[in-house]
Amino acid sequence: MPSAGRALVSVALVTGLSWAGGTAVGDGSNRDVRQQVMEHESAGDLAGARALLENQSRTATPDPGSTRELAEFLDRHGDPGRRDAYVKWAETEKDPQERELALRQIVLLDFMEGNKARLSDDLERYRAAGGKDLSEPSGQEKLALYSKVTIPGPLGSFARMAALTPDLAPEELLPALARNVVTNGYQASGNEALEQTEYLRLLVRYIGQARELQAMAGNAQKITISSCDSEQTGALLKILGYRMRGACGGDLVLETVNPTRAFLTVDSAFPLTQLEQDLRANHRFELPYAPTQVPVLYSANYWMTALARSGQTDFLDAFLSDPSLCRLYLGLSHLDRPTAEALRKQASAAKLKVYAHVLDFFGAMFQIRNGAAVVPGSPKVWAAMVGVSPNNPGAFFERLMATDDGWMAGYFDALSRVNGPGAAYLTQPERMKRFYDAVRGKITSPGPARPVFRSSTELLLLTTSLRLDANGQPHVPGDLEVWRNLFIHHPHGKYDGRLTRSANSWRTSDDLVEALFALTRKSVENEPLKIYLALNDIDRERTNPISAHLAARLVLAYRPYAAQYSVFADAPALSESSIEHYLDTFAAVSGMHDTLLRADTLGMLQAEVELWRILSVQNSIPASAQDASFAKLI
């Protein structure tokens, strides 16, 4: 079964596109309601949007278009009533293809929510309506996807040394290990080559010690010390890094002779105390010590073919020695099976490893449905941008990862996560190409997936937080002139010269959004983007957006007072006069010459404001009284 979560996201994108394009669903009154719903949703008034849709679908003979819009609205926002809404849509829908789509969403919701009692019946209804692309998941198929590899020693000791949580499912062990190796296993040396960290060095040493203990356990898979003075005693203690001090009996004590091995012994939870007690009492010591079988995706041989060097025969050693191989394992393990299989057929493991960093960060949104790649927006536009049609999903995703060192894949990932009106705006063909050119820039290296952590987080923040006004254009806090002045005069220091020059010709909010997209690829010198995101949050829940005057002041005061802006965002009932008074108060206190007095005053003021903020968020101070109480406080 395709990934349910991503399938539902794709339907939400389709919904947003149909709204933007004016797809006729019902009569003219329905289109009017749909426009009102979009306005409420863009303004963050989800309750108002839902009320309109529910009223529209409560008629004696509900229109299928109305029930569909309600179901997809609830689905976009994860409402618990979305399944019932899809059921109502399926019951009222007369178009066979539309009814099939409604029944498909019901099946996917059953799968996502683990509703096995309804899944079989709903799947039968979907098939009766003509659906052929879904089937009930089989446990045997999941098992067939994995083979086994051997880890020396007990799983508990290995998990301790590898920093793995003990409650992981078996098939999650290697992905968790791969993530640890990628993030904590290697560091850059002085010549920029990768060298193992202390974490990985200890793990590799433990594996070597575990193999020695496993060899000592033999075919019986049990370490046995028959008596204190046996030959096995000395051999075992040498492996553990200890030796006996004193003769066998009550005076015997184990002392460290090899600190490195002794540390591994203790840290891996080897029962050293029990061994010492048994030796002292001359009792037989027995310890089961069998290797552990863990599931590996596909087979060990598949991953070994991706190694650049020959002569490596052990999967675990190869896995730990190659962080790119670990990233490839992570990337493929996150994909649903059809998508992973399409990539495996398209490219060899060695070729996929070249793009492992891109697949790891951005592959989570890759999905194939009905034989084609699911894309945000028009498939034709993506075919033109990538150079391969989404109808050839394996080749499409391979080219997507290879294009512009990962920037294209990062852009695809960001757009795939946007729903509703924002998705319709961003995936309009001309804007989609224009904004990508801004993100890409002229120099594509280094790409967004080169570091250990993705460097394109601002791109995701911008696309998901972008709000539209009632006219369908992006919301601009204040007005466009405020932001033009910021880019041209850059009061906090010089910004990108190209963006400064282009700001003189700005005419619409699209021009500002293009400049913000260009700033998302910068890890530094992207202050205008951070200011926009902060002011956008302040405006999000306000009944009346902030004025151009206040927006300009907040822009100028961003550097000294940016940490205070979250107070304004959490309290949308604050008036502009209260916000300005707050800024004036902080400016006056910050200007005090006495250092101790200034620090004490700022501390007390900040503490009082935070207490007020907590009470407001908890509704202990009602919204109607927040502005007056805040004004008195400061």
What does the angle CA 553 – CA 554 – CA 555 come to, to the nearest 5 degrees?
90
Query: How confident is the model at residue 75, as a pLDDT?
Result: 87
pLDDT band at 498 (very low <50, low <70, confident <90, very high): confident
The token duo for 583 is 């800024």
Looking at the fold, whether 11 and 111 belong to one and the same domain comes out as yes
To the nearest 10°, report the CA torsion of 498, 499, 501, 507. 140
Q: Where are the alpha helices (DSSP H) in 496-622?
A: 497-503, 509-519, 527-540, 548-556, 558-561, 565-570, 576-590, 595-617
Query: How confident is the model at residue 12, as a pLDDT?
Result: 39
Q: What is the arithmetic mean of pLDDT over 177-183?
A: 95
Q: What is the arithmetic mean of pLDDT over 150-177?
A: 93
Question: Would you call the peptide bond into 288 cis, given omega within 30 degrees of 0 as the criterion?
Answer: no
Residues 208, 212, 213, 219, CA torsion sign: positive
Q: Is the Cβ–Cβ distance between 597 and 606 less than 8 Å?
A: no
Looking at the fold, whether 62 and 152 belong to one and the same domain comes out as no
Please give the share of the chain, as a percent, with pLDDT higher than 70.
Answer: 91
3-state per-residue secondary structure call for 381-433: HHHHHHCCCCCCHHHHHHHHHHHHHHHHHHHHHHHHCCCHHHHHHHCCHHHHH
Better-predicted residue by pLDDT, 311 or 181: 181
Looking at the fold, whether 201 and 232 belong to one and the same domain comes out as yes
How many structural domains does the chain have? 3
Pairwise CA distance, residues 109 & 75, whole Å: 9
Looking at the fold, whether 118 and 60 belong to one and the same domain comes out as yes
Looking at the fold, whether 152 and 284 belong to one and the same domain comes out as yes
Residue 472 lies in a domain: no
Residue 591: pLDDT above 80? yes
Query: How confident is the model at residue 452, as a pLDDT?
Result: 62
The last residue of one of the domains, among 275, 294, 313, is 294
Looking at the fold, whether 20 and 115 belong to one and the same domain comes out as yes
Q: What is the arithmetic mean of pLDDT over 50-74?
A: 83
Looking at the fold, whether 190 and 256 belong to one and the same domain comes out as yes
Looking at the fold, whether 180 and 122 belong to one and the same domain comes out as no
Query: How confident is the model at residue 139, as a pLDDT?
Result: 53
Query: How confident is the model at residue 15, as a pLDDT?
Result: 39
Q: What is the arithmetic mean of pLDDT over 22-30?
A: 45
Residue 203 lies in a domain: yes
Looking at the fold, whether 104 and 168 belong to one and the same domain comes out as no
Residue 539: pLDDT above 90? yes
Q: What is the arithmetic mean of pLDDT over 493-498?
A: 71
First CA to last CA distance, the chain = 58
Please give the share of the chain, as a percent, with pLDDT higher than 90.
Answer: 58
Q: Regarding beta strands 146-151 and 292-297, do their DSSP bridges make them parallel or antiparallel, or are they unpaired?
A: antiparallel
Residues 548, 422, 456, 508, CA torsion sign: negative
Closest CA to 323 of 195, 481, 483: 195
To the nearest 10°, report the CA torsion of 549, 553, 558, 564. -90
Looking at the fold, whether 108 and 78 belong to one and the same domain comes out as yes
Residue 465 lies in a domain: no
Query: Which pairs from 518-524 meet CB under 8 Å and 24+ separation?
Result: 518/438, 518/439, 518/441, 519/458, 520/439, 520/456, 520/458, 520/459, 520/462, 521/407, 521/439, 521/440, 521/441, 521/448, 521/456, 521/459, 522/496, 523/455
Query: How confident is the model at residue 144, as a pLDDT?
Result: 61
Pairwise CA distance, residues 110 & 123, whole Å: 9
Residue 370: pLDDT above 90? no
Looking at the fold, whether 112 and 240 belong to one and the same domain comes out as no
552-563 pLDDT, tens digit per residue, is 999 999 988 899
Residue 219 lies in a domain: yes
Query: How confident is the model at residue 462, as a pLDDT?
Result: 93
Query: How confident is the model at residue 493, as a pLDDT?
Result: 64
Pairwise CA distance, residues 488 & 503, whole Å: 6
pLDDT band at 6 (very low <50, low <70, confident <90, very high): very low
Better-predicted residue by pLDDT, 133 or 549: 549
209-248 pLDDT, tens digit per residue, is 999 999 999 999 999 999 998 999 999 999 999 999 988 8
The last residue of one of the domains, among 265, 294, 323, is 294
Query: How confident is the model at residue 10, as a pLDDT?
Result: 38
Pairwise CA distance, residues 533 & 458, whole Å: 9
Pairwise CA distance, residues 546 & 579, whole Å: 10
Query: How confident is the model at residue 308, as a pLDDT?
Result: 67
Residue 520 lies in a domain: no
Residue 199 sits in which domain range?
A: 148-294
pLDDT band at 60 (very low <50, low <70, confident <90, very high): low
259-276 pLDDT, tens digit per residue, is 999 999 999 999 999 999
C-alpha 213: how far from chain center: 40
Q: What is the arithmetic mean of pLDDT over 303-312?
A: 78
Query: Which pairs from 436-440 meet CB under 8 Å and 24+ separation?
Result: 436/385, 436/407, 436/408, 436/411, 438/514, 438/515, 438/517, 438/518, 439/407, 439/410, 439/411, 439/517, 439/518, 439/520, 439/521, 440/404, 440/407, 440/408, 440/521
Better-predicted residue by pLDDT, 95 or 2: 95
Residues 166, 169, 174, 178, CA torsion sign: negative
Q: Regarding beta strands 368-369 and 253-256, do their DSSP bridges make them parallel or antiparallel, or are they unpaired?
A: unpaired
The last residue of one of the domains, among 137, 171, 191, is 137
Pairwise CA distance, residues 567 & 564, whole Å: 6
C-alpha 199: how far from chain center: 25
Residue 515 lies in a domain: no
Q: Where are the alpha helices (DSSP H) in 43-154?
A: 46-57, 64-76, 82-92, 96-112, 116-128, 139-144
Q: Is 467 left (phi over 0), alpha (psi -120 to 50) or beta?
A: beta
Looking at the fold, whether 28 and 87 belong to one and the same domain comes out as yes
Amino acid letter, 343: L
The token duo for 203 is 């793990």
Residue 481 lies in a domain: no
The token duo for 95 is 């178009």
What does the angle CA 401 – CA 404 – CA 410 come to, to the nearest 5 degrees?
55
Residue 455: pLDDT above 80? no
Query: How confident is the model at residue 137, as a pLDDT?
Result: 67
Pairwise CA distance, residues 629 & 610, whole Å: 13
pLDDT band at 25 (very low <50, low <70, confident <90, very high): very low
**Mean pLDDT computed over every residue of the chain:** 87
